[in-house]
Amino acid sequence: MTVNVIETEDLIKYFGDKPVVNKVNLKIPEGTIYGIVGPNGAGKSTLLKLIIGYYWPTSGVVRVKGKVCSRDDASFRQTIQLVSAEWGFFNSFRIRELIRYYGLLYDRFDQTRCSRLLNALELSNKSRVRSLSLGMKTQLRLALSLASRPSVLLLDEPTNGLDPVVKRQFLQLIVQEAAVDGTTILIATHHLDDLDRIADGVAVMHKGQLIASETMESLKTKFKEIQLVLPSGIPDSIRKLPDIISIQQKGNYYTITVNSSLEPILGLLQEAGALHLEVTDLPFDELFLKLMAQEGYSRESLLL
Amino acid sequence: MKVSYFKTNKAAVFREWRISRSWWLGIGVLSLWAPIFNVIAVIENLKWGTVSQSVFWYALVPALYGFHSFSSVMLPSSHFHAYSDPIISAVWVLIAVIIGVIPWATDRSTDGIYSALSAPIKRSEMIFVKFSFGLVIVLGIQLFRGLLLILLNSWAGAPIGWNLFASWWLTNTLAMVVAMTTALFLASIMKAWFFAALSSLVVLSIPFAIASFLDEVIHYTSSLWVAPPPFASMAHVPDPFGWLRALSPIFWTGEAESASGSQMSMQIYFSTGTHFLFMAGWVWIFYLSWIVVVLLLAIRLFRGIPAENLTDFFFYPSMWKWGMGAISILLGYILTNGSSFIPHYGMVFIILFLLYTIIIFFIVRFLIRLYWRIRKE
């Protein structure tokens, strides 16, 4: 049975008279890597801060491992951590002092794991945090958080400021280390390509509302692309099928996007004389846009 | 899972020490001025020929002095110098206020507060740890000052009795903790540490300002009263405020000057030990109550501040008006009566005081609005 490690119930957060998070019902299964995507101002970061109890909900409930997070109880934060690039990070500390602080702060802090991670990142214990680049600071935070062995790790725009090579290493590190302890990871980002490689599921936010939540598997099977050559053109009977989302044509070469089981459509295409039929997965950003289009959101309104 | 609160507390203590240690060092350096202050007090008072008493007065005042009721002011105006000693006392009050404000100032300037509020540290623990650090620093300073007092008194040829020394030490230490706790409380509900420090001085001095104001009103309007009874009893109206003056250590200068000609010297109080202990006891109880109430208030209010309000100037928007009013009254008071060099002119003083207060209120309001406009642009 799937256990949800994070659950929100009709979660609402107002800043002034503006709802920043509006009736969000989110369920994140244990041990998964989930992405929260959405344009700037969608409420992604606020949602993460509500989950960790930094912000208090205007109404609604957050449960972490089945326990309702109350504002007077800081103990549940032993099992959940937030890494946010937005917040300052003890610039005057040396790394060894940060290690000591995390060791005192978190019951499950693993010194050996911390040393191993810092070695992998080539960070010296004697360095001051202020001497590190933005990317290195983010990696340091992640290393310290992973060494604290949280059950849930919340990452807010973790790849901001990272170059492509470091970004790839960083994401690999997240996947590897999350697998060791079965840590559940929730990543808020507007870099869709980050999630493509690592996420098990994705939740989409728009103007404070959760407008979709799907596993990557179901999302990938939901939309497929068929490439084919059809000299006689696509018959109207196929064009009018409700499961066909779009058809692009370049001479006799067609690209058809569908969102249902492929077999009936492939059968019809073969009957119509299709040549070189090839079925491919859509890239994640395209999948995302198709999903949003299906929910009634235009491409322009979702500019990330 | 079993949660170790003790371990979490140790983390909060480590964090507090690490982010504020250079400031604590600065305060330590500042307290090295203590010998210089002490020597000034002695040298200044040598001119008056009352070395030992002056040292004692410098040390004991203002707490006990401030505790007298208003309608029965008794002052040893011939026994201490009215100008140097108050300044020295004011310095220590200021240091105590800075000690109270530092932990919050460093937390804000390093943005450490955000990660602390998302870590397994309770808000009440944050306040308590900051208070504990302040307490340790105040105790350190007071031990240093105590040692110097003993040495100076011995040098002046009038060793201080242990009972009086203990009374001095406890009274002054508690007075500094009162100032520190008040500043800590205000800094916990304000973002701008400078205004928190300024407001602390206002809070610590405003009871005296109110008491002084009422005293002036009653004194200078008494001639207008038709008959002694029942109006004569009104002379005692400010008395309860006299108790609050124990929190107003920086404003005893003016009173020292104005109350010359009192019938009974404070010296008599100290020669009758029972009376002294009775008064001192009340001072200590009053100070301790103040410390506990303000600390609990700080914890209660800070626990209720939503994180999104931490970016506001005042975490509680309604405090704008209170803060402005308090700052205006303080400045008004300082300009009209805060200095011993400005003589009292009865009703003129009262009118001036009100006039200044109103003017300053508008100036402060203008400056705050200007600040916000510039910030928005």
- Interface pTM, i.e. ipTM: 0.80
Nearest CA among B316, B196, B175 for reference residue B252: B175
- Tell me if A102 sits within 8 A of A147, measured CB to CB: yes
Q: Given an 8 Å threshold on Cβ–Cβ distance, is A87 in contact with B114? A: yes
Give the range among A30-44, B15-29, B283-297 with minimum mean pLDDT: B15-29
Give the residue from chain A lying closest to B126, CA to CA. Answer: A74
User: Could you please report the per-residue DSSP string of chain A?
Assistant: -PPEEEEEEEEEEEETTEEEEEEE--EEETT-EEEEE-STTSSHHHHHHHHTTSSPPSEEEEEETTEEP-TT--GGGGSEEEEETTS---TT-BHHHHHHHHHHH-TT--HHHHHHHHHHTT--TT-BGGGS-HHHHHHHHHHHHHHT--SEEEEESTTTT--HHHHHHHHHHHHHHHHHHT-EEEEEES-HHHHHHH-SEEEEEETTEEEEEEEHHHHHHH-EEEEEE-TT---HHHHT-TTEEEEEEETTEEEEEE-S-SHHHHHHHHHTT-EEEEEEEPPHHHHHHHHHHHTT--TGGG--
Q: Is A241 left (phi over 0), alpha (psi -120 to 50) or beta?
A: beta
Q: Given an 8 Å threshold on Cβ–Cβ distance, is A77 in contact with B115? A: no
- Cα–Cα distance between B141 and B119 in angstroms, integer? 32
Give residue B341's pLDDT band: very low, low, confident or very high (50, 70, 90).
Answer: very low
Mean pLDDT across the stretch A19-27?
A: 93
Give the range among B136-145, B203-212, B309-318, B329-338 with minimum mean pLDDT: B329-338
Q: Is the pLDDT of residue A238 over 90?
A: no
Question: Could you tell me the maximum CA-CA distance found in chain A, to the nearest angstrom?
Answer: 73
Average pLDDT, chain A: 84
Residue A66: per-residue pLDDT: 84
Residue B277: per-residue pLDDT: 54
For the beta carbon of residue A9, count every other beta carbon within 10 angstroms: 16
Residue A103: per-residue pLDDT: 92
**Which residue segments constitute the domains of chain A, with CATH numbers given?**
4-219 (3.40.50.300), 222-302 (3.30.70)
Of the CA atoms within 13 Å of residue A140, those in its CB half-sphere come to 28
B69 touches chain A (CB under 8 A): no
Q: Which residues are paired to A27 by β-bridges?
A: A7
Mean pLDDT across the stretch B220-231?
A: 52
Q: What is the dihedral of CA B144, B145, B147, B152, to 10 degrees?
A: 140
Cα A161 to chain centroid, rounded: 17
Tell me how close the Cα of A145 comes to any Cα of chain B, in angstroms: 11
Q: Given an 8 Å threshold on Cβ–Cβ distance, is B119 in contact with A77? A: yes
**A286 or B289, greater pLDDT:** B289
Q: Given an 8 Å threshold on Cβ–Cβ distance, is A92 in contact with B4? A: no
For the beta carbon of residue B262, count every other beta carbon within 10 angstroms: 13
Mean pLDDT across the stretch B225-235?
A: 49
Give the range among B80-94, B162-176, B290-304 with minimum mean pLDDT: B80-94
Residue B77: per-residue pLDDT: 37
B311 touches chain A (CB under 8 A): no
Q: Is the pLDDT of residue B187 over 80?
A: yes
Eight-class DSSP state of B345 = -
- Tell me if B148 sits within 8 A of B160, measured CB to CB: no
Residue B364: per-residue pLDDT: 75
A174 contact partners, CB below 8 Å, separation of at least 6: A33, A142, A155, A158, A185, A198
Q: Which chain A residues touch B15 with a CB distance below 8 Å? A: 101
Decide: helix, strand or coil at residue B314: strand
Q: Given an 8 Å threshold on Cβ–Cβ distance, is A104 in contact with B306? A: no
Q: Which long-range contacts (CB under 8 A, 24 or more apart) does B156-165 make?
A: B156/B42, B156/B51, B156/B52, B156/B55, B157/B51, B157/B52, B158/B51, B158/B52, B158/B53, B158/B55, B160/B52, B160/B55, B160/B56, B163/B273, B164/B56, B164/B60, B164/B270
Tell me how close the Cα of A80 comes to any Cα of chain B, in angstroms: 9
Residue B151: per-residue pLDDT: 78
Q: Is the pLDDT of residue B302 over 50?
A: yes
- Cα–Cα distance between B125 and B141 in angstroms, integer? 24
Give the range among A213-217, A275-279, B215-219 with minimum mean pLDDT: B215-219
* Beta-strand pair A4-15/A59-64: antiparallel
For the sheet with A275-281, list strands across it: A244-250, A253-258, A224-229, A275-281
Q: Is the pLDDT of residue B251 over 50?
A: no
Residue A122: per-residue pLDDT: 82
Give the range among A133-147, B258-272, B303-317 with minimum mean pLDDT: B258-272
Closest CB from B14, B110, B303 relative to A104: B14
Q: Given an 8 Å threshold on Cβ–Cβ distance, is A79 in contact with B1? A: yes
Most trustworthy range by pLDDT among A199-208, B55-64, B313-322: A199-208
Residue A14: per-residue pLDDT: 93
pLDDT digits (tens, 9 = 90+) for B346-356: 445 555 556 66
Residues of A near B (Cβ–Cβ under 8 Å) read: 15, 49, 52-56, 71-72, 74-79, 81-82, 84, 87-93, 97, 100-101, 104-107
Tokens at A205, concatenated = 């936010």
Residue B240: per-residue pLDDT: 46
Of the CA atoms within 13 Å of residue B309, those in its CB half-sphere come to 18
- With tokens 């982010």, the residue in question is B19
- Cα–Cα distance between A91 and B110 in angstroms, integer? 7
**In chain B, what are the domain boundaries?**
5-376
Residue B128: per-residue pLDDT: 92
Closest CB from B3, B14, B117 relative to A78: B3
Give the residue from chain B lying closest to A91, CA to CA. Answer: B110
User: Could you please report the per-residue DSSP string of B154-223?
Assistant: HHTT-PPPHHHHHHHHHHHHHHHHHHHHHHHHHHHHBS-HHHHHHHHHHHHHHHHHHHHHHHHHHHHHGG
Closest CB from B19, B110, B118 relative to A52: B118
Q: Is the pLDDT of residue A6 over 60?
A: yes
B369 CB-contact burial (10 Å; exposed 0-12 / middle 13-18 / buried 19+)? exposed
Q: Is the pLDDT of residue B342 over 50?
A: no
pLDDT digits (tens, 9 = 90+) for B64-117: 344 333 333 333 333 333 333 444 556 677 788 889 998 888 887 777 788 888
Residue B25: per-residue pLDDT: 78
For the beta carbon of residue B217, count every other beta carbon within 10 angstroms: 16
- Cα–Cα distance between A171 and A165 in angstroms, integer? 10
Give the residue from chain A lying closest to B4, CA to CA. Answer: A107
pLDDT digits (tens, 9 = 90+) for A128-173: 888 888 888 888 888 999 999 999 999 998 887 788 888 888 888 8
Q: Is the pLDDT of residue B18 over 70?
A: yes
Residue B333: per-residue pLDDT: 58
B111 touches chain A (CB under 8 A): yes
Mean pLDDT across the stretch B54-61?
A: 45
**B171 or A111, greater pLDDT:** A111
Q: Given an 8 Å threshold on Cβ–Cβ distance, is A107 in contact with B118? A: no
Q: Is the pLDDT of residue B253 over 50?
A: no
* Cα dihedral across residues B324, B327, B333, B334: positive or negative: negative
Angle at A152 between CA A204 and CA A149, to 5 degrees: 150
Residue A59: per-residue pLDDT: 93
- Tell me if B19 sits within 8 A of B112, measured CB to CB: yes
Q: Is the pLDDT of residue B44 over 60?
A: no
